[in-house]
Structure 1
Amino acid sequence: MRTHFIAIGGAAMHNLALALFDKGYNVTGSDDAIFEPSRTRLDKKGLLPAELGWFPERITPDIEAVILGMHAKADNPELLRAQELGLTIYSYPEFLYEQSKNKTRVVIGGSHGKTTITSMILHVMRYNNVEVDYMVGAQLEGFDNMVHLTEDNDFIVLEGDEYLSSPMDRRPKFHLYQPNIALISGIAWDHINVFPTYENYVEQFEIFIQKISNGGILIYNENDPEVKRVAEAATNPIRKIPYNTPEYTVSNGTTLLETPEGPMPIEVFGAHNLNNLAGAKWVCQCMGVDEADFYEAIATFKGASKRLEKIAENGHNVAYKDFAHSPSKVAATTRAVKEQYPDRTLIACLELHTYSSLNAEFLKEYRGALDAADVAVVFYSPDAVKIKQLEEVTYDQIANAFNREDLIIYTNPAAFKQYLYELKYDTKGVALLLMSSGNYGGLDFEEVKNLI
């Protein structure tokens, strides 16, 4: 099948291109900017465009599917040419559904925890030698691509993002997958540039539930009051399975999960990750993996890339980086690290990097998010605010939003880097937590490792 990707360089798009190439498809693509690691990974498969830019003359009638990335605009020259020729144009999620409409579709939704839960499921499936198709939002240890598609596998596990499908299709991605088994981990207002009110955001999850196939299964986190309300209010003919955070203890920096066979040490930690684990367990059981086999497998799960990822440790100090940016996830991640290392000084650093976090009105949602930290630091770049064409966020607005008198705020990357270098990583012990979906204006995490 001849497929062409408009904006092939994106994190999700290039992984789909690689998956289709591995499946035997004839794949081409274009983009006006391609960065690492997409560039090298496409080049290895011979899929890297010879030159950057848009070339409508390369859009020909023999192309059977055009796949449109979010990076492309509605007036993209290649898109306009494809429309003129009447070619079949798919958004990323539309094409994934097309590839999986004859499979059992497992879709993991929620404002937070999606990647971790999806990763846990895939880890358990691989450990138990169950072959599944998948799409996940992070690079996983032991998995070559973030997307894997076959003709033969019975299941496909999809991370269900609620962000928009394409410039032409303003529906949330997870509305298009029509799951047979669905999970909702939590609902916490996000993407305010697309969903301007809390009610509008919650509605997307109500629609997601309505999209579950008749006779399907909804697994939902009953510890989240909004998830519980939305799930219990749904009237479509589905089976509902609630889950909650399991019992666990922390001893000498190790988390012990209570199981029917007694306490079991696990690699991940924090109440939110144990909650994710409980949801993943139900999904795996619905996919045919029994409880004992799940526990054996999950004991070796180390976490998804950038999700509470340990980057350095010595006898006294430890450093983690995490993708956390939404208020609820920042609060959960900060509490988790403090609970795991109660006797160490927790220095929690948060970069305000997303549209939501850099919005002066939305900032109020961060009230108390860093309270579990002994030292709380917020970094934001005024340049990022300008690039996103938002009104400038002031020092006072941030200080008032977090409601913490000792909050440390940096707006200069060099000054923030100097702060990290001058910290006293002494024998009393420090737990350094770096939370961001960005990189603090160019921070080299390899250098940070050498500080610990």
Structure 2
Amino acid sequence: MKVHFIAIGGSAMHNLAMALQQKGFTVTGSDDVLFEPSVSRLKKYDLLPAELGWHPERITPDLDAVILGMHARVDNPELLKAQELGLKIYSYPEYIYEQSKNKQRVVIGGSHGKTTITSMILHALKAAGKDFDYLVGAQLQGFETMVKLTHEAPVIVIEGDEYLASPIDRRPKFHLYKADIGVISGIAWDHINVFPTFDSYIEQFELFVQTIQPGGTVFYASNDEVLQQLITANKSVVNKTPYGLPDHEVVNGITSVIYNGQAYKLEIFGEHNLLNLEAAHLVCNSLDITTADYYRYMTTFKGAARRLELLAKNGDTSVYKDFAHSPSKLTATIHAVKQQFPNRQLVACMELHTFSSLNKDFLAEYAGAMNEADAAIVYIDEKTFEQKKMQPYDDQAVKTAFKRDDLKFFNTAESLAVYLESINYFNKNLLMMSSGNFGGIDLNSLSNKVIHKFV
């Protein structure tokens, strides 16, 4: 099979390219901009384009498939050539389905927790010695790539994003996988640039349930009222199974799950992670892993990259970074750290970075999201508004939206770093939350300064 990737540098795209090459395909690709880690990883697999840019001459009639990334535009020269030649053009979720039609497909959906739940399932399957394929949205410890596709594996576990499949396919990705087993972790409005109302966003999860194959199962978080209403009204002929918090305890800052009188100590914490744990538990039970084995495997699960990742600690302070950026994720992550360390104050810093989070009409959704933090800090890179061609706003607009007058606001990385380093962190934790990179601040260096400054 000969396959060409248009916009090969995307996170899922370059991992899919590597997976197909490992499967024995002949793979080529193009892109007009490439960043790390894509550059190094593509180079390692000898898939790095020789030069940047679009080259329609690479689109030839002998290609079996063209895979189109979201980064490409509808007038992309290579896309136009492929259309002119009548080649089969896939989005990457379409092609994942094409390569897994004969497998049992597990698809993890929801506004939050998708990567963690998927990672938990993969961790347990690997520990159990199962053969499986996967697609996950983060680099996981012990896994070479974020995508694996083989001829032999009987099951594939897929992180099911609700964002659009490609520039010419406006369907959400998770609709295209046709799950046998589905998970919905919760619903909280996101991606307002394509789902301008909450109702239009909710509808995508209703449609997802409808794509689950007859006789299949959807596991859903019972604590989410919006999701509960959606499932109750849904008429799809699939099994609908709720999940909630497992029996657990927190002793000396360590969370354990209690099952059959035994405590299984975890390296993760927080109610949102315990809910994620239960979603993965039900899936793993469906894949013939017993509950006792599952919890035993999960005692060594360290979490997905950038999900409540511990950067540094001493006896009085811990510094975490987290991917949280939406209102519901902020609330859950802050609550988790406060619950785990009830006797420490929490300095919580988040970056408004995505199109949705920066949109002034959406900003009010953040009301109260940082209330549980003892100190709240919001950062917006002053260049971000310009890059996204959005109208900037000032600190008062942010304070009003978050409904917190004592909130600190910064718009340069330099001023933010200076402020964070000036705080006395005795008996305080620092939580850094963003889907961006805080204007290039070296968080590892910052963390070391934080934990050593007042020792």
TM value normalised by structure 1: 0.98
Q: What amino acid maps onto 2:114 in structure 1?
A: K
Provide, for residues 234-290 of structure 1, a one-character-per-residue CA deviation record: whole Å limited to 9, x for no partner. 112111111011232222111122222333211110000001111110011011111
Q: What amino acid maps onto 1:444 in structure 2?
A: D
Provide, for residues 183-203 of structure 1, a one-character-per-residue CA deviation record: whole Å limited to 9, x for no partner. 000000000011000000000
User: Greater shift after overlay, 164-173 or 244-253?
Assistant: 244-253
User: Greater shift after overlay, 438-447 or 271-280?
Assistant: 438-447
CA contact (8 A) 1:181 1:217 kept: yes
The 3-state SS of whatever aligns with 2:170 is coil
Cα-Cα RMSD: 0.9
Deviation at 1:120, TM superposition (A): 0.3
CA contact (8 A) 1:220 1:240 kept: yes
Partner of 1:432: 430
The 3-state SS of whatever aligns with 1:310 is strand
Partner of 1:255: 255
Determine whether 1:366 maps to 2:366: yes
Partner of 1:325: 325
Partner of 2:58: 58
Partner of 2:205: 205
Q: What amino acid maps onto 2:112 in structure 1?
A: H
Mapped to 2, the partners of 1:332 and 1:259 lie a distance apart of 24
User: Greater shift after overlay, 234-243 or 195-204?
Assistant: 234-243
Deviation at 1:386, TM superposition (A): 1.8
Deviation at 1:416, TM superposition (A): 0.1
Q: What amino acid maps onto 2:208 in structure 1?
A: F
Partner of 1:132: 132
Determine whether 1:165 maps to 2:158: no
Deviation at 1:394, TM superposition (A): 2.4
Matches within 5 A, 1:289-304: 289-304=289-304
Q: What amino acid maps onto 2:376 in structure 1?
A: A
Partner of 1:184: 184
Mapped to 2, the partners of 1:281 and 1:385 lie a distance apart of 41
Uncovered stretches (5+) of structure 1, i.e. residues with no partner: none
Q: What amino acid maps onto 1:389 in structure 2?
A: K
CA contact (8 A) 1:379 1:411 kept: yes
Deviation at 1:372, TM superposition (A): 1.2
Partner of 2:221: 221
Provide, for residues 23-64 of structure 1, a one-character-per-residue CA deviation record: whole Å limited to 9, x for no partner. 111000000011111101100111000000000011111111
Mapped to 2, the partners of 1:25 and 1:445 lie a distance apart of 39
Q: What amino acid maps onto 2:247 in structure 1?
A: E
CA contact (8 A) 2:55 2:78 kept: yes
Partner of 2:151: 151
The 3-state SS of whatever aligns with 2:186 is coil
Provide, for residues 306-358 of structure 1, a one-character-per-residue CA deviation record: whole Å limited to 9, x for no partner. 01111111222111100001100100000100111111221000100011110
CA contact (8 A) 1:3 1:26 kept: yes
The 3-state SS of whatever aligns with 1:170 is strand
Q: What amino acid maps onto 2:244 in structure 1?
A: N
Partner of 1:9: 9
Partner of 1:449: 447
Partner of 2:393: 393
Partner of 1:314: 314
CA contact (8 A) 1:178 1:211 kept: yes
Mapped to 2, the partners of 1:312 and 1:259 lie a distance apart of 31
Q: What amino acid maps onto 1:430 in structure 2?
A: K
Deviation at 1:405, TM superposition (A): 2.0
Partner of 2:342: 342
Q: What amino acid maps onto 2:282 in structure 1?
A: W
Mapped to 2, the partners of 1:401 and 1:435 lie a distance apart of 18
CA contact (8 A) 2:264 2:296 kept: no
User: Greater shift after overlay, 370-379 or 191-200?
Assistant: 370-379
Mapped to 2, the partners of 1:18 and 1:430 lie a distance apart of 43
CA contact (8 A) 1:121 1:284 kept: yes
Mapped to 2, the partners of 1:261 and 1:135 lie a distance apart of 35
CA contact (8 A) 2:307 2:321 kept: yes
CA contact (8 A) 1:93 1:165 kept: yes
Mapped to 1, the partners of 2:256 and 2:63 lie a distance apart of 54
Partner of 2:103: 103
The 3-state SS of whatever aligns with 1:43 is helix
Mapped to 1, the partners of 2:10 and 2:262 lie a distance apart of 44
Uncovered stretches (5+) of structure 2, i.e. residues with no partner: none
CA contact (8 A) 1:358 1:393 kept: no
Deviation at 1:446, TM superposition (A): 2.3
Mapped to 2, the partners of 1:80 and 1:335 lie a distance apart of 49
Mapped to 1, the partners of 2:30 and 2:169 lie a distance apart of 20
The 3-state SS of whatever aligns with 1:370 is coil
Mapped to 2, the partners of 1:316 and 1:159 lie a distance apart of 36
Deviation at 1:430, TM superposition (A): 2.0
Q: What amino acid maps onto 1:246 in structure 2?
A: P
Mapped to 2, the partners of 1:186 and 1:294 lie a distance apart of 23
Q: What amino acid maps onto 1:217 in structure 2?
A: T
Mapped to 2, the partners of 1:370 and 1:259 lie a distance apart of 33
Runs of 4+ off more than 6 Å: none
Partner of 1:88: 88
Deviation at 1:425, TM superposition (A): 2.9
Mapped to 2, the partners of 1:266 and 1:39 lie a distance apart of 35
Partner of 1:417: 417
Q: What amino acid maps onto 2:415 in structure 1?
A: A
Q: What amino acid maps onto 1:392 in structure 2?
A: P
Partner of 1:28: 28
